[in-house]
């Protein structure tokens, strides 16, 4: 059974904040519903990008309905942020700890984020002006809190697609290209000290 917690997202068009809910455990049905809601919007946006000969987001092919079967296993957990009855962002976590790579926490249990995505209408590269801002940060906060609840000290890690590296570099340490990763992506990690600053809303 999932629980919901209030959070806030920014509405750039009105320069205002709106209340949303973090859902801490999504079901397979939730992911299928989100996919069905997102897919047509993403397709339309991709058509526009194609016509304008502009690059597509690197994760354009992600299909959360296919990721849903991961939730049959205890090893995965999916969280989302809902506003106006629609999922504004999704995050798939691996609940099996990975070893921390930052020197200060080498070998310590760290929560790994498998996938994190904002709804297509919240992506600047797809729609110009996003409907909501802050979805990614709210999801990162949720990952940090979950990591603390799991006894991982708030430590989180992930591999980033090149287009998202700038976002993660704001909050996490870039540990460089991972030669062992199947796509040779860069690995980012947030350590205990960064977690403290992150949750206080400040950059270290």
Does the footprint of other proteins cover residue 3 (CB under 8 A)?
Answer: yes
Does the footprint of other proteins cover residue 96 (CB under 8 A)?
Answer: yes
Question: Using CB under 8 A, which residues numbered 13 to 52 contact other proteins?
Answer: 22, 24-25
Does the footprint of other proteins cover residue 153 (CB under 8 A)?
Answer: yes
> Which range binds other proteins by CB under 8 A, 11-19, 36-44, 117-125, 149-157?
149-157
Q: Report the C-alpha gap between 151 and 101 in whole angstroms.
A: 17
Does the footprint of other proteins cover residue 134 (CB under 8 A)?
Answer: no
Contacts (Cβ under 8 Å, ≥6 apart) of 92? 67, 70, 76, 77, 78, 113, 114, 115, 116
> Which range binds other proteins by CB under 8 A, 57-65, 121-129, 146-154, 156-164?
146-154
Reduce the DSSP state of residue 126 to 3 states and report it: helix
Reduce the DSSP state of residue 148 to 3 states and report it: helix
Does the footprint of other proteins cover residue 65 (CB under 8 A)?
Answer: no
Residues contributing to the site for other proteins (CB under 8 A): 1-3, 5, 22, 24-25, 72-75, 95-97, 108-109, 142, 145-146, 149-153
């Amino acid at each position: 059974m999932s629980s919901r917690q209030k959070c806030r997202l920014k509405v750039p068009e009105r320069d205002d904040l709106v209340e949303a809910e973090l859902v801490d455990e999504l079901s397979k049905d939730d992911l299928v519903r989100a996919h069905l809601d997102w897919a047509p919007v993403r397709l339309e946006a991709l058509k526009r990008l194609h016509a304008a000969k502009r690059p597509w987001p690197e994760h354009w092919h992600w299909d959360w309905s296919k990721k849903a079967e991961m939730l049959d296993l205890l090893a995965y957990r999916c969280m989302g942020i809902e506003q106006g009855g629609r999922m504004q962002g999704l995050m798939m976590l691996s609940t099996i700890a990975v070893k921390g790579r930052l020197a200060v926490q080498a070998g310590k249990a760290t929560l790994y984020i498998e996938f994190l995505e904002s709804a297509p209408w919240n992506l600047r590269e797809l729609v110009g002006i996003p409907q909501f801002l802050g979805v990614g940060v709210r999801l990162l906060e949720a990952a940090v809190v979950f990591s603390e609840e799991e006894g991982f000290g708030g430590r989180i890690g992930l591999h980033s697609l090149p287009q998202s590296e700038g976002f993660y570099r704001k909050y996490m340490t870039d540990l460089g290209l991972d030669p062992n990763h199947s796509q040779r992506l860069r690995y980012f990690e947030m350590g205990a000290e960064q977690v403290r600053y992150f949750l206080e809303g400040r950059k270290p």
